[in-house]
Amino acid sequence: MKILIIGTGLSGGCIARLLKDRNHDVKLIEKQRIIGGLCFTKISPNGIKYEPYGVHVFHSGNPKIIKFITKFDKFNGYVHKRGLIINGKLFPLPLTKESLYWFENKDQIFQELQNRSSEIDNTNFETACISIFGETLYQYYIKNYSMKMWGMDPKKLTAEWVPKRLELREKEDESYFGSEWQGLPKNGYTFLINQIIKGIPVKLNTFIHNPEDYDIVVSSAPLDDIMQLKFGKLEYRSLKFDYKINEIWESQYMGTINLPQHPKYIRKCNFKIPHKQKSPQNWIQYQEPAATNKDNLPMYPISTKENQYLFNRYLKEVCKTKNICPIGRLGLYKYLDMDKVIEIAFDMLPIIENYLNSSPEERYNNINEIRNKY
């Protein structure tokens, strides 16, 4: 089949590779002047590798995904550790029950944890967090962070990803991602994606496509854009970045530190730690949440009930088109990590190959089933 893939991020790159290896005639287009989407590595002015869209640690518990991704570069074995600063003190992230003894009002915190119900209250993001952490910890490290991150009251967000992203551990674990295989590509993400799409034609700086010229168009672009904003805009959140070179870094091992109480930034990353680079200097990135605009890329789908409803309308509509199939974080409007967008690319293969023979209902059910799996 003649297939056009929109977007050269990890989703577009991986689905292009998988389809090309099944002998389809594949072409990629990308609206930016560079490939990679959010997975993009550069060298800082002081010689340190870094990701301009935030440190990206690849992690997976799935042998099929590990086998696939390690064909394209060696990984550096970095085990991600994160921290958070509360009232000037550094804590591990996820918080552990052991670390709670360092809080001034620990008695109150333990009391609230003891009084929790065994069921998570999924009414909204705030109720779900309070049922896991109790009111005091929620106020300390989640509420302000989330208001900055999403630019809205956490009560307006759904509880969709709370159990997958937020936890309170019994004691300090080896890493942020538990026991999953993890690391960064030794040559960076831009190299990795270039290797993935090797031999596949790419046209950069290109938005316009003519879907009729192809059997199938697989799109990792924002779904509302692809549907010409027919039902209105889906909301995404973005980040802006500032850099510091020689500021002191609080830990030898933590690549990222969350700043829930900072008035502007949500977290900071010191890239020489995840890239395992030896340098007397640091290259520290501060991340400030922002609305999307022509400079700030869409990065995070904002999970409110209204957005979920709108996405669902768009998904039904795209399934009625002759040949457009959405994938990826922006196409499926879901907060997905890199391993998951690759798993989805594998899962989508049979759906894409049968797309022209499927009814709109079958397409919708198949895509929704995959989306809900992750």
Ligand X SMILES: Cc1cc2nc3c(=O)[nH]c(=O)nc-3n(C[C@H](O)[C@H](O)[C@H](O)COP(=O)(O)OP(=O)(O)OC[C@H]3O[C@@H](n4cnc5c(N)ncnc54)[C@H](O)[C@@H]3O)c2cc1C
Site residues (vs ligand X, CB under 6 A) = 6-12, 29-32, 37-39, 53-54, 56-58, 207, 220-221, 225, 239, 299, 328-330, 336-339, 341
Task: Indicate the residue among 162 and 345 with the shorter CB distance to ligand X.
Answer: 345
Task: Indicate the residue among 267 and 363 with the shorter CB distance to ligand X.
Answer: 267
Minimum distance from CB of 159 to ligand X (Å)?
20
DSSP states along 116-155: --SS--TTSHHHHHHHHHHHHHIIIIIIHHHHHHHSS-GG
Distances (CA, A) of 50 to 54, 81, 222, 235, 341: 8, 17, 25, 27, 21
Q: How far apart are CA 180 and CA 79, in angstroms?
A: 9
Minimum distance from CB of 100 to ligand X (Å)?
26
Task: Indicate the residue among 38 and 157 with the shorter CB distance to ligand X.
Answer: 38
Those residues whose C-beta lies under 8 Å from the C-beta of residue 202, and which sit 6 or more positions away, are: 8, 27, 28, 29, 30, 35
Task: Indicate the residue among 130 and 284 with the shorter CB distance to ligand X.
Answer: 284
Distances (CA, A) of 130 to 107, 120, 136, 140: 17, 9, 9, 11
Minimum distance from CB of 184 to ligand X (Å)?
9
Task: Indicate the residue among 131 and 194 with the shorter CB distance to ligand X.
Answer: 194
Minimum distance from CB of 364 to ligand X (Å)?
20
Minimum distance from CB of 59 to ligand X (Å)?
6
- Report yes or no: 182 and 69 within 8 Å, Cβ to Cβ: no
Q: Is the dihedral of CA 356, 357, 360, 364 positive or negative?
A: negative
